[in-house]
Amino acid sequence: MPIHTPGYMEGTRGSMATDWEGRGDVDRLRRQRTAKATEAVAQAGYDAVLLLSDPNIRYVTSVATSSVSGAGGFHYSLLTADGAITHWDSADHAVVQREACPWLRDIRYAAPGIGIVPTAIGGGSGVEMLRGAMTREVVSALRDHGITSGRVGVDVSQPALIAELQAAGYEVDAGAAAALAQARSTKTEDEIECLRMSAAICEAGFQAMKEMIKPGVRDNEIFAESVRRIIALGGEHGGGKLSSGPDTWPKSQADSSDRIIRPGDVVYADFYNIGYNGYRSCYYRTFSCGRAKQATHDAYKRAVENLYNVLDAMKPGATTADAAKHFPDSEGEYWDYYDANQAWQITTNHWGHGIGLQLYEIPLIWRGVSPEHPIELREGMTLAVETQDRDGSQGVRVEEMVVIRRDGVELLSNWPVWEITEVM
User: What is the pLDDT at residue 4?
Assistant: 79
Same structural domain for residues 196 and 233? yes
Domain-ending residue, one of 184, 206, 225: 184
Same structural domain for residues 155 and 196? no
Same structural domain for residues 279 and 230? yes
Q: Cβ(134)–Cβ(114) under 8 Å? A: yes
Same structural domain for residues 357 and 241? yes
Q: Cβ(180)–Cβ(356) under 8 Å? A: no
DSSP assignment of 17-35: --SSS----HHHHHHHHHH
Q: Could you tell me which of 169, 136, 182 has the C-alpha nearest to residue 44?
A: 182
Domain contains 347: yes
Per-residue buried b or exposed e for 87-126, using 16+ beta carbons within 10 Å of the residue's own CB: bbbeeebbeebeeebeebeebeebbbbbbebbeeeeeeee
Same structural domain for residues 87 and 158? yes
Domain-ending residue, one of 184, 214, 249: 184
Same structural domain for residues 136 and 234? no
Domain contains 19: no
* Grouped pLDDT means (10 residues each) for the chain, 424 residues: 68 74 88 98 98 96 74 92 97 96 97 93 95 98 98 97 98 97 97 95 97 98 97 93 96 92 98 95 98 98 98 97 98 96 95 97 98 98 98 97 96 97 97
3-state secondary structure of 116: helix
Same structural domain for residues 277 and 302? yes
Domain contains 150: yes
Same structural domain for residues 237 and 363? yes
Domain contains 10: no
369 backbone dihedrals φ, ψ, rounded to 5°? -145, -30
Domain contains 118: yes
Q: Is the peptide bond before 250 cis (omega within 30 degrees of 0)?
A: yes
Domain contains 228: yes
Same structural domain for residues 133 and 220? no
Domain-ending residue, one of 184, 207, 242: 184
CATH code of the domain containing 402: 3.90.230.10
Q: Cβ(84)–Cβ(34) under 8 Å? A: no
Q: Give the total number of structural domains in the chain.
A: 2
Same structural domain for residues 124 and 259? no
Same structural domain for residues 46 and 72? yes
Q: Cβ(205)–Cβ(230) under 8 Å? A: yes
Domain that holds residue 117: 26-184
Same structural domain for residues 160 and 206? no
Q: How far, rounded to the nearest angstrom, does the alpha carbon of residue 37 sit from its chain's CA centroid? A: 18
Burial of residue 405 (CB within 10 Å: 0-12, 13-18, 19+) is buried
Alpha helices in 314-385 (DSSP H): 320-324, 335-338
Q: Could you tell me which of 1, 424, 2 has the C-alpha nearest to residue 213?
A: 424
**205 CB neighbour count, 10 Å cutoff:** 30
* Residue type present at position 29: L
User: What is the pLDDT at residue 70?
Assistant: 61
How far is 5 from 146, CA to CA, in rounded Å?
A: 48
Per-residue buried b or exposed e for 27-62, using 16+ beta carbons within 10 Å of the residue's own CB: eebbebbbebbbebbeebebbbbbbbbbbbbbbbbb
Domain contains 379: yes
User: What is the pLDDT at residue 10?
Assistant: 67
CATH code of the domain containing 120: 3.40.350.10
How far is 386 from 323, CA to CA, in rounded Å?
A: 13
Domain contains 13: no
